[in-house]
A and B are shown apart, each in its own frame.
Chain A
């Protein structure tokens, strides 16, 4: 069992409240997943720049002068924002891969990267994880979150969701995949590698690889129904929005709500209880084996 939440804002004036709304949703899902929690938040974009989110268990030492070190390594301007065990480095898009290689070599864990996406995830109760990162104060256009009750891999930062396997793309999952090792090998043959032993990361890599091959988000999500075996309710985030798909058996719960202000997703209705205007929202359960997505 895990908990998933997602929120896509239709109105720009609500952006400053995104973190606050998502945090309440995330904390409500604690009893579906008390092991770890994570959030991907899609915020501001700077032209030609990319954000790389990294994690370290020893942030004081690892993040001290990291911006200067990366700047020297890639010969480009770098700014850093340290948030507890995570740091977000902003640098020119042209040096992104070079910077990621340097950061990995330094032993930092890459959470994700993209023009607008930042990922924060840690082991612990969702309320504690949210407080450590100050999630309430984060603004943005949309975000997805996850509370984890581990089944397929260890309770570690790298095992926590969301998983990002391409710029501005991430995935959260409730369920378990049974053909993830086979799919991991298939993807590796194509040169697509994952960073953890986790089943969901393979799902994320599958979607990213389909998009890289030219599929639309909708087509990539359709593909999960055919190519991934197991139980899943997936919510995937992209720069422009988010998508939802459930396996044909659909035993993992999912509920959606839509108003003029937002589209919200959650594992259970409880997570919507504090959303503004929820009493008048259109609330429905996504159909099995059916792809839904919202993009701006």
Chain B
């Protein structure tokens, strides 16, 4: 562990993952607003997860499964790509991925901002529950499946079955959508949506105009049982 003027450097070639996470979690709990830099992450799993206080963590390289999971109040930046399940069940704070994110990024997230500068693959924002996700590139298939609330903003294209079985999350896509999932429809962009989007794009440092996006949301046809479909069962 090396402490420079303003940040503590943790080297994963010299420390075990558990030691790194324990150090970060203790600093988060101390509410000291400290800054950490993790070097040589070597694609390790579960890095910087379970942080529940203000903390600034920069990971210099790519990470494996479940990085920054359950994040609360902390700011985690991955200067590389992230493996499956990044920022899973995030509560608040900011998680930034400079590269790409693998499948189910931000899954079940309750709050905070997940800012992905590259592409996100399949199932991005699956079952999201209030998190804001901004993807500067494209997203893969089955994204926002059963998404309940929050905003998913995509500057590029979306894959197949976007927003399948969607609840009340808002989806904003600038590029093409390969196909929409069941009960997901194109919706009118009203002034309040332009406002939400403007704020999110600014927060994420995204170079795009809110007017360029299309909003998608739930048709709310799956909310109640339709008696005309009784024969289907």
Contact = CB atoms under 8 A, between A and B. Distances in A.
Q: Give chain B's interface residue range (CB within 8 Å of chain A).
A: 20 to 34
B122 A288 contact: yes
Contacts of A287: 140
B68 to A, nearest CB: 16
A268 B64 contact: yes
Interface stretch (A13-21, A120-128, A269-277): A269-277
Nearest to B120: A285
Contact of A270 (B42, B100, B121, B122): B42
Nearest to A286: B121
A272 B140 contact: no
Q: Give chain A's interface residue range (CB within 8 Å of chain B).
A: 10 to 19
B156 interface: no
Interface in A239-270: 248, 250-251, 253, 255, 268-270
A163 to B, nearest CB: 26
A283 interface: yes
B59 to A, nearest CB: 13
A269 B64 contact: yes
Contacts of B81: 269, 283
Interface string B29-49: 000000000000011110000
Given A253-B84, A268-B83, A270-B43, A285 B64 contact: no
B99 A250 contact: no
Contacts of A270: 42-45, 64
Contacts of A284: 100
Nearest to A251: B103
Contacts of A251: 103, 122
12 contacts: A248-B141, A250-B140, A251-B122, A253-B84, A268-B43, A269-B62, A270-B42, A270-B43, A272-B43, A283-B81, A283-B100, A284-B100
Interface of A: 248, 250-251, 253, 255, 268-273, 279, 283-285, 287-288
Interface of B: 42-45, 61-65, 81, 83-84, 99-100, 102-103, 121-122, 140-141
Given A250-B121, A283-B62, 8 more contacts: A250-B122, A251-B122, A253-B83, A253-B84, A255-B83, A268-B64, A285-B102, A288-B141
Closest 3 CB pairs of A and B: A269-B43, A270-B43, A273-B42
